[in-house]
Amino acid sequence: MGATAFVHNRLMELRNAGGAILLISEDLDELLKMSDRIAVMYLGQVVELGPRDAVWHRTLHPYTRALMAAAPSSHPANRRLPRIG
pLDDT at 78: 56
- Each residue of 13-71: pLDDT tens digit? 888 888 788 888 877 777 888 888 999 999 999 999 999 999 888 888 998 888 888 77
Q: At 81, is the pLDDT very low, low, confident or very high (cuts 50, 70, 90)?
A: low
**Residue 79 pLDDT more than 60?**
no
Note if the pTM is more than 0.75. Answer: no
Distance of alpha carbon 68 from alpha carbon 6, whole angstroms: 26
* Helix-strand-coil split of the chain, %, nearest 5: 45, 15, 40
pLDDT at 13: 87
